A = this chain, B = another copy of it.
């Protein structure tokens, strides 16, 4: 369901676009929120056209198909935003390693947390470059805040590990 919503949202925000365009947008502006490759996007657009949420225009150069959101698509997007309580459920490999840290001896645990921190900082650098237009700015702020919080956690945890039996 959420893939549909993300696609409708992009079409609504940037206007008519091809599957190829949408895949790029996913990669560049939506990647900290949702991920989808072209292999997932193309078939989904076909289904959405069948369901009347988007219009597939006639083929352009190189077989390009430009999709446009329909009024029904816009309605369903709006309805989802207003009615759907987002699930707070998270599946997080970083948190899983955090959970399992006590299984390791001190030096291994430190190495693991250092690596986590490096990964988070790399991602923070990436996100900081990606300045959103008006669109996506709320989500970007949220993403940055969460990364900073996670990095803060790595620092506290490293201090804690180094304190214990230093």
Interface of A with B (CB < 8 Å)?
A: 2, 5-6, 9, 12-13, 30, 32-35, 77-78, 81-82, 84-104, 108, 111-112, 115-116, 119-120, 123, 134-139, 141-143, 145-146, 148-150, 152-153, 156-157
A99's contact among B112, B123, B138, by CB below 8 Å, is which? Answer: B138
Given A91-B35, A99-B138, A103-B12, A146 contacting B143 (CB threshold 8 A): no
Question: Copy number of this protein in the oligomer?
Answer: 2
Residues of B within 8 A of A77 (CB): 100, 103
Contact B96 A82, beta carbon cutoff 8 Å:
no
* Complex alpha-carbon distance, A48 and B67, angstroms: 46
* Complex alpha-carbon distance, A146 and B150, angstroms: 7
Residues of B within 8 A of A101 (CB): 138-139
